[in-house]
Amino acid sequence: MIKTLGGRKLGVTSSHRRAMLRNMVTSLFLHEKVETTIAKAKELRPLAERLITHAVHGRHPQVRRAIQDKTVYRKLFEVLAPRYAKRPGGYTRILRLAPRAGDNASRGQISLVA
């Protein structure tokens, strides 16, 4: 029986994928929405939700490892964590957009729920 353990490779090396997802989650927290491909959005969602949960529970070291930007780090703890303190998960939403013009890739927008 074949079981797919792990996430999508997204056509890049593991170090590139880790850096790309860290940059995307930083942009997501800064702008509160990011437009990307559906596959990248689906990979980004668990990371973003886990970081928000860590921030709500006050776990600074786990968040600090992923978020390198001080302003985004501060925003996560001062603005986003109080906003989602009473919410039991489900902090993000993925909306499907029209396919990308150049290569017809499926696009989507991942955003934080208000």
Q: Return the domain boundaries, the chain.
A: 14-112
* Contact call for residues 25 and 51 (beta carbons, < 8 A): yes
Burial bucket for residue 71 (CB in 10 Å: 0-12, 13-18, 19+): exposed
Domain 14-112 falls under CATH 3.40.50.720: no
Distance separating alpha carbons of residues 62 and 96, to the nearest angstrom: 30
For 31-83, write each residue's pLDDT tens digit. 999 999 999 999 999 999 999 999 999 999 999 999 999 999 999 999 999 99
Measuring CA to CA, how many Å separate 34 from each of 26, 59, 65, 78?
10, 25, 21, 21
**pTM for this prediction:** 0.91
- The 10 Å CB-count burial string (b at 16+, else e) for 30-45 is eeeebebbbbbbebbb
